[in-house]
Amino acid sequence: MKIIMLGAPGAGKGTQAKMIAEKYSIPHVSTGDIFRANIKNGTELGKQAKEYMDAGKLVPDELTVKILLDRVAQDDCAGGYVLDGFPRTIPQAQVLEDALNKLGDKIDYAINVDVPDENIVRRMSGRRACLKCGATYHIEHIPPKQEGICDTCGSELVLRDDDKPETVLNRLKVYHEQTQPLIDFYTERNVLKTVDGTRDMKDVFNDIIAILG
């Protein structure tokens, strides 16, 4: 079972991907993690990716797909995997599709965790982080015992730049321009399934399980 997770930043697709991976005993394949592992281990692909990243350039789609295919060719992916963070654009999806076709393989499901923009802005702007110990909170869902103070170490909690409404809106704009077209791409291939990401995390997960069977 080969699954791609789609959804806007803050929609919760990463959390769902981890839960799916755990339930079905398949790897959760995050492109960020693969890049870091290849660079840390000094692989040939990792060295190539590092050259682009050190120069402040985006890693080309072909190289990203090579690194991804290298990961999913490993034994633990024989029964399937959950892709998180890739593809982000139509060209990436096409390169991935072509590469899988050559292997006689394909994506089985593209799960779209659908959450309206206003919900995401509210969700992300409610996050608070402790820069000292790394603990995270949410003013509505997981509030600290004392407002603005970390339960763990007593340091001040902050709203990270990434979570500020203006930053979130900008990330959503990029998402709608680049990633939203993937919804149509995978709809045409009859593998897209959409779930309501505004519901409780467990309810969303149950909806996904009902799709995957």
Task: Please list the active-site residues.
Answer: 13, 88, 127, 160, 171
Pairwise CA distance, residues 36 & 85, whole Å: 14
Contact present, 16 and 205 (Cβ < 8 Å): yes
Nearest alpha-carbon partner for 80 in 2, 19, 191, 24: 2
Q: Phi/psi class of residue 7: alpha, beta or left (left: φ > 0; alpha: ψ in -120 to 50)?
A: left
For tokens 């802005």, the residue is 121
Contact present, 179 and 88 (Cβ < 8 Å): yes
Q: Phi/psi class of residue 85: alpha, beta or left (left: φ > 0; alpha: ψ in -120 to 50)?
A: left
